[in-house]
Amino acid sequence: MSKKDIDWSNLTFAYQPTDYRYISNYKNGEWDEGTLSQDPNIVLNECAGVLQYSQSVFEGLKAYTTVDGRTVTFRPDLNAQRMFDSAKRLEIPPFPVDRFVEAVREVVKANEDWVPPYGTGATLYLRPYVFGSSPVIGVAPAEEYQFRIICTPVGPYFKGGVKPITIRVSDYDRAAPHGTGNIKAGLNYAMSLHPIMEAHRQGFSENIYLDPATRTKVEETGGANVLFVTKDGKLVTPKSDSILPSVTRRSLLYVAEHYLGMETEEREVLFEEVPDFVECGLCGTAAVISPIGCINDHGKEIKFPSGMEEIGPVMKKLRETLTGIQMGTIEPPEGWIYEIK
């Protein structure tokens, strides 16, 4: 094994093809045995289901090197189960959970030279996805599908230290009640592109979405769940059927409770109680936690006491503990670290 000659610490979050991708095709009612391929291109019929009716779901997880030199991924079984659930909601034949985890192992093993070394802050980002590949013109699910895992090395999310961001309250909705907000469907991202670009044009990093039915409760941002800390040190996260069940959020709640001895609450969070919290953060695979310094509600600023200079003490501790578990410097809970052998 010899690692690729890459300036790992200066990589950005951009697609760079690696040597291998994993492919399995669904045809005649079953998934084939799957294979690794060196071809980064897909030849697709012009009427493929994904092109006409956006029938696609995806996942995101990372492979990286631990302090003692092991190549690992973090809780891939949860991504497998989530993709299974996402697929069912879009009438896509779900890819079996155990096969997903095995495909992750195979594709990371084949691309081991692309897994960034420990200490660079970089990771190998894995993007599993499934899409309808056979022609569809009347609105219906496709008959054939492709499951694919591509890999791309990405740099550290925060270069030069974790910095708080400012987000705005969005006038757009991310998810309808009883819609697809709780699954990882490509279509959820298509409709978020306009709100995020508009937010950027106005100088904000992200949108925070309220519940579409009443616009009184906090949901999440375009691609990350939200965490709050109360004055008495409790970790609170919004509960709603239209929030995407983040692996990072579920892991952080466990860490808060079992490693840091904190009380945690998953409950409805009214937007009007947000000024009472002392810290706020976004969580997801890419950043683990991004601290929020300020939420802009149509010109009215909610500034958290942790400020715009550095991450608050509780978010900092949570972030350090979870990254320590991931990197092998802190003992992980049973089954969290999946070693690639």
Ligand X SMILES: *Cc1c(COP(=O)(O)O)cnc(C)c1O
Would you name the residues annotated as active-site residues?
184
242: contact with ligand X by CB under 6 A: no
For the CB of residue 250, give the shortest distance to ligand X in the complex, in Å: 8
User: Please, are residues 57 and 144 in contact by the beta-carbon 8 Å criterion?
Assistant: no
* Residue 223 touching ligand X (CB under 6 A): yes
Piece of 143-151, 218-226, 258-266, 310-318 that binds ligand X (CB under 6 A): 218-226
Cβ proximity to ligand X, 146 vs 246, nearer residue: 246
> Is the Cβ–Cβ distance between 243 and 181 less than 8 Å?
yes
Give the shortest CB-61-to-ligand X separation in angstroms.
7
Q: Which of residues 178-207 bind ligand X (CB under 6 A)?
A: 184
> What's the min distance (Å) between Cβ of 100 and ligand X?
14
| CB contact at 8 A, 245 and 272 | no
Hunting for tokens 């009472």 — which residue is that?
276
How near is the Cβ of 309 to ligand X at its closest, in Å? 26
Which tokens in the block code for residue 121?
């802050």
What's the CA gap between 144 and 48, in Å, rounded? 9
CB of 186 to ligand X, least distance (A): 10
Burial 31-52 (b: 16+ CB within 10 A, else e): beebebeeeeeeebeeebbbbb
Tokens of 271: 């937007």
Rounded CA-CA distance 308/306 in Å is 7
Three-state DSSP state, 335: coil
Applying CB under 6 A, the span of 64-72, 122-130, 239-247, 299-307 interacting with ligand X comes to 239-247
> Out of 9, 36, 53, 60, which residue is the one contacting ligand X (CB under 6 A)?
60
Distance CA 96, CA 84 (A): 7
CB 251 to ligand X: min, Å: 8
DSSP assignments along 77-128, one per residue = HHHHHHHHHHHHHTTPPPPPHHHHHHHHHHHHHHTGGGSPPTTS--EEEEEE
Which string of DSSP letters, residue by residue, matches 251-276?
Answer: HHHHHHHHTS---EEEE--BGGGGGG
244 binds ligand X (CB under 6 A): yes
Please select the residue that binds ligand X; options are 11, 57, 224, 280, rule is CB under 6 A: 224
CA distances (Å), origin 67, targets 120, 122, 273, 334, 338 = 11, 13, 41, 18, 15
208 is a contact residue toward ligand X (CB under 6 A): no
**Of 220, 229, 255, 318, which lies in the binding site for ligand X, with binding defined by CB under 6 A?**
220
Cβ closest to ligand X, residue 237 vs residue 246: 246
Encoded one letter per residue, x for contact with ligand X by CB under 6 A and - for no contact, window 61-90 reads ------------------------------
DSSP 129: E
Give the helix/strand (H/E) hosting 145. strand 145-154
- Give the separation between CA 134 and CA 208, rounded to whole angstroms: 36
**Is 211 a residue that touches ligand X (CB under 6 A)?**
no
Stretch that binds ligand X, among 37-45, 244-252, 261-269, 307-315 (CB under 6 A): 244-252
Q: How far is the CB of 223 from ligand X (least distance, A)?
A: 5
- Decide: is 56 part of the binding site for ligand X (CB under 6 A): no
Positions in 283-312 near ligand X (CB under 6 A): 284-285
Closer residue to ligand X, CB minimum distance, 48 or 57: 57
Told to check if 247 binds ligand X by CB under 6 A, we report yes
d(CA 208, CA 171) in angstroms, rounded, equals: 9
Q: Of 85-93, 131-139, 241-249, 328-336, which segment contacts ligand X by CB under 6 A?
A: 241-249
Q: Give the binding site for ligand X (CB under 6 A).
A: 60, 184, 220, 223-225, 244, 246-249, 284-285
